[in-house]
């Protein structure tokens, strides 16, 4: 079946992959993917793992945000350095056919110590044709008791605002987001 756009599919390509930060005090890591049009590509986080058994409760070492930094590179950034283990973030890149995606906006939102919610301004989107995706988080949280790590969520709360919210208010966390507006 041929779609309205003259293509057999509204999706050009789908790529699964992973990107790691090494145990050698690395704050960032990169992975190479097949070239995509960054204006039409959505990067989705599927989860992450760590090989750090020593600092199993140190959130800063075990989480990170990911970004499509150019047509062939996915980058992960974590909030703290650690000599004891790697962090690996798993992702999917979905590249849409031209004319499907109006815009993709990405950023992070700082949730500082004592703050449970904060916003980031974006260019105006049609909220009826837009989706907000979580792209991981950076953190400076040290060792905390199990169950006290605060996982924030992100939401498109108006045509020009994305809001990040968490239950606790300890330390700095920076959840990432991607807002995709479709035609």
Instruction: List, for residues 165-179, the tens digit of each pLDDT value.
Output: 988 776 778 889 999
* pLDDT(58) > 80: no
pLDDT recorded at residue 40: 96
Asked if 179 and 137 count as a contact pair (C-beta separation under 8 A), the reply is no
Among 61, 75, 58, which residue's Cα sits nearest to residue 19?
75
Instruction: Specify the DSSP element, H or E, that contains 96.
Output: strand 87-96
Is residue 123 classed exposed, middle or buried when 0-12, 13-18 and 19+ CB atoms within 10 A define those classes?
exposed
Instruction: Give the range among 46-55, 58-67, 144-153 with minimum mean pLDDT.
Output: 144-153
Exposure string of 56-84, with b = 16+ CB inside 10 Å and e = fewer, is ebbbbbbbbbbbbeeeeebbbbbbbebee
Question: Long-range contacts for 149-156 (Cβ within 8 Å, ≥24 apart)?
Answer: 149/57, 149/59, 152/111, 154/109, 156/125, 156/127, 156/130, 156/131, 156/132
Quote the distance between the C-alpha of residue 169 and its chain's center: 21
49: Cα within 13 Å, side-chain hemisphere: 4
Going through 100-183 in order, the beta strands assigned E by DSSP cover: 101-108, 117-121, 130-139, 153-158, 161-165, 173-182
pLDDT tens for 104-125 read 999 999 988 888 899 999 999 9
* pLDDT(90) > 70: yes
Confidence of residue 86 (pLDDT cuts 50, 70, 90): confident
Sequence-distant (6+) residues with CB within 8 A of 164 are 109, 111, 117, 118, 119, 120, 152, 153, 154, 175, 177
pLDDT tens for 3-48 read 555 667 899 999 999 988 876 657 788 999 999 999 999 999 888 8
pLDDT recorded at residue 101: 96
pLDDT recorded at residue 92: 96
Mean pLDDT of 126-148: 77
pLDDT recorded at residue 48: 80
Distance CA 14, CA 36 (A): 10
pLDDT recorded at residue 1: 43
Distance CA 22, CA 30 (A): 10
Confidence of residue 87 (pLDDT cuts 50, 70, 90): confident
* pLDDT(144) > 60: no
């Amino acid at each position: 079946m041929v779609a309205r756009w003259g293509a057999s599919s509204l999706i050009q390509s789908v790529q699964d992959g992973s990107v790691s930060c090494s145990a050698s005090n690395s704050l960032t890591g990169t992975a190479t993917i097949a070239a995509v049009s960054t204006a039409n590509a959505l990067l989705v986080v599927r989860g992450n793992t760590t090989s750090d058994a020593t600092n199993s409760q140190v959130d800063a070492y075990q989480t990170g945000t990911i970004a499509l930094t150019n047509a062939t590179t996915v980058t992960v950034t974590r909030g703290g350095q650690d000599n004891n283990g790697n962090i690996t973030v798993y992702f999917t890149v979905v590249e849409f056919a031209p004319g499907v995606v109006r815009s993709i906006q990405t950023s992070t939102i700082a949730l500082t110590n004592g703050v449970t919610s904060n916003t980031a301004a974006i260019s105006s989107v049609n909220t009826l044709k837009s989706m907000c995706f979580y792209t991981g988080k950076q953190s400076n949280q040290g060792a905390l008791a199990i169950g006290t790590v605060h996982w924030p969520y992100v939401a498109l709360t108006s045509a020009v605002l994305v809001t990040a919210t968490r239950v606790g208010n300890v330390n700095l966390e920076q959840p990432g987001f991607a807002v995709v507006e479709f035609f």
